[in-house]
Structure 1
């Protein structure tokens, strides 16, 4: 299938004929949670059956949404005096790419499977000169059957997965001509002020510092090629996992049980020595965790994520019951609570974050492997499937292609509503058969 780019243009915020045009010199300093996010783009692909709005309507809706979410139309800025990073709200715009698949029809099962080919449907975040200034790039690809695929690349320094999904939902609302909801909240300063006096109650260096976990030991042969396995767990399989896990202390959630199961399966597929240490890195959303005032509102447009890091040995992980692993995860996630988030804010206010260059442990998502560790991004509650440009709800969402062995994406529940859960799991080709046997066997995996 050949994808042909028809046009590429900058789309700037549209404030309307009666709207006041805001200043384009405003600078919004990044928060501690923005600064410790990946300095890279997050990708995603959304597929829609016809009827589909014309590209002109999508472009106009994008311009109206950007008037409410100016961050995405801005540029990253570094203060030459302090070195502090921020977002310059200069309304320079986002990149809007129009493409066509010619006479091809969309077979989502083939075209959108998690292989390198899927990158054709989201815009490249690499410019010819190696520098991309846009914080958001989108590509609309049209098929002969009337279906469209909307791909996006959005900079993680501006917002996390929840913030990105909220903007995409707002883009759909603006295209349909309805009010944007939830109302975006842009105040990055007052939500994360340090306490007086500051209370650093936890050791943050070992959690937020740069740790090069990636183990680039691949020999370069075919067996060391990283492939992404798309796996689907039925409602019945999930129920059985939760039932078995909860025999100890439970009940445990779907996220806890499935994360525990996949951690075990990836570890088993790697055939590690029993004494090898392995850690799980699980993203924790602070919107629900930061319960003290000020609360982080649903419409917050920045980053509010930290990581939990349960750890054990490969031997313990595979020999103990599933409930034991789920409990390890539950305990570590529970520790990343309001007190922990607030303590990090106080720690960062001292200037140590900038002075010591502390960044999150997964600093390079493009690295070849995570060694003995596993990173899980759970998107079960991220509202990507609420995106609707006027032709109805999308029928498929998939994250971008991330060929980093040991990275797991638990995908949002599909509109089918059958209770199944899907995941993308990056493994070495040599380990695929072992992974699949474990993945779909209750006895081996639990």
Structure 2
């Protein structure tokens, strides 16, 4: 069901022509109720994440997208609700069926989709993803271009779901849009069973090794070290990496190392190079240590039998390593990759995730945070970068009725001092990667100066 959104209507915004916002509610009525966030959800601060999908002519119409969205919001009803505070001040979901704010925009006169410089996000691309109302869970924006193409942008509250969950929604939305064109309905129904990540009652005997790892990776906010020094002005970029360069990185990392581990090791050494360059700039300063983290999904760790395959929510942990920048620059690449592998494997266990659920329960309602964002246990002085894999992004399945997108990327310009890097498959389907980065200017420069791996993303790559 589509209805006028409060405060919506026609208008003009910078970079856009006419703009109309309505609210799309679930096609079937929702019994209002509250759905608590899991203990793993509670580890996330109030951050919004965006996704943008670029479609060539003929792009899906806003009317068709709204109709499909109303259908898919029936099983994905929490996305049409609001985030509210409970009696303890913790966030939880009010499943009210208020709807998803859906904005229809037209590009400013004379702006062609082929002219968009997707690689330089700060120029114009950020206007293609919607700002989200603070209480709402999700918003959508469709920007139409004179050529008949369109960009679909979605923004969602990270406390409600992770990228794995939102990918499920995107696939379901696309299937609902294709249903009118003979497509098959979605097969995976989302699960909101909080019992899958419930604390154990009674708690098991304490495990020194499990507890030590959790205390190293997470901290109650009141006892956490101060955040690292924020970059003077973080930049947002999107690069591409050729499939051959991805394979070469993995081969250089040594046997048994994943592509993501090799990529993370490469980013860690680039971070060290950026730190050294910044320290050498006038006035010269002391080199800082480098904290590199990587996001690990726990669904298959908690339930190897696939019981969490349809689970909608956050199931994440963030292991990390801290080394001096000079030390990192002197290490062989394979040794850096070994280090990454060691701290990733240590956290990628069911015991760690079960212990983390219990750890949060013992400290509620006091909030907690991942130490990786804060520079590790030492905090403060470290240069921080987090890698979060978007390699599960179903680009080919994001066909909203008129064909798969020509380009897709995440967008996460968060207000923190830590850098954030998210690789995902290229829409070309040839093994290339598209990498969104929100990093310091020094790190972006280090990425662009190297002779291989990170390459400029130009319009010929997207539309050629």
Q: Same fold (TM over 0.5)?
A: yes
How far apart are the structure 2 equivalents of 1:401 and 1:197? 36
How far apart are the structure 1 equivalents of 2:381 and 2:406? 32
Give the SS at the match of 1:58: helix
1:93 aligns with 2:92: no
Superposition pairs for residues 1-80 of structure 1, below 5 Å?
A: 2-15=15-28, 21-24=29-32, 26-80=33-87
Question: Do the aligned partners of residues 86 and 227 (structure 1) sit closer, same or farther apart at CA in structure 2, a change above 3 Å counting?
Answer: closer
Shift of 1:385: 4.5
Shift of 1:140: 0.5
How far apart are the structure 2 equivalents of 1:151 and 1:279? 31
1:159 aligns with 2:161: yes
How far apart are the structure 1 equivalents of 2:443 and 2:65? 43
Give the SS at the match of 2:318: strand
Shift of 1:434: 3.9
What do you get for the CA RMSD once the two structures are aligned? Answer: 2.7
Report the count of equivalent residues: 415
Does structure 1 retain, via aligned residues, the 8 Å contact 2:411–2:436? Answer: no
| Structure 1, gaps ≥5 residues long | 16-20, 127-131, 219-223
Shift of 1:431: 5.6
1:389 aligns with 2:400: yes
Shift of 1:148: 0.8
Does structure 1 retain, via aligned residues, the 8 Å contact 2:422–2:435? Answer: yes
Give the SS at the match of 2:329: helix
TM-score, normalised via structure 2 length: 0.82
Shift of 1:153: 1.1
Superposition pairs for residues 40-439 of structure 1, below 5 Å?
A: 40-80=47-87, 82-101=88-107, 102-107=109-114, 110=117, 113-125=120-132, 132-177=134-179, 178-194=184-200, 196-201=202-207, 202-203=210-211, 204-209=214-219, 210=221, 211=224, 214-216=227-229, 224-246=232-254, 250-271=255-276, 276-291=288-303, 296-336=307-347, 337-350=349-362, 352-355=363-366, 357-361=367-371, 371-400=382-411, 402=413, 407-429=419-441, 432-438=444-450
Q: For 1:283-327, what per-residue CA distance to the aligned partner results, in whole angstroms no more than 9, with x for missing partners?
A: 10011221368x552221111111111222222211111111111
Question: Do the aligned partners of residues 116 and 199 (structure 1) sit closer, same or farther apart at CA in structure 2, a change above 3 Å counting?
Answer: farther
Give the SS at the match of 1:68: coil
Does structure 2 retain, via aligned residues, the 8 Å contact 1:200–1:347? Answer: no
Question: Do the aligned partners of residues 391 and 266 (structure 1) sit closer, same or farther apart at CA in structure 2, a change above 3 Å counting?
Answer: same
How far apart are the structure 1 equivalents of 2:314 and 2:20? 32
Shift of 1:138: 0.5
How far apart are the structure 1 equivalents of 2:421 and 2:115? 19
Question: Do the aligned partners of residues 84 and 238 (structure 1) sit closer, same or farther apart at CA in structure 2, a change above 3 Å counting?
Answer: closer
Give the SS at the match of 2:342: helix
Shift of 1:384: 4.5
Give the SS at the match of 1:67: coil
Question: Do the aligned partners of residues 430 and 331 (structure 1) sit closer, same or farther apart at CA in structure 2, a change above 3 Å counting?
Answer: closer
| Structure 2, gaps ≥5 residues long | 1-13, 280-284, 375-379, 455-464
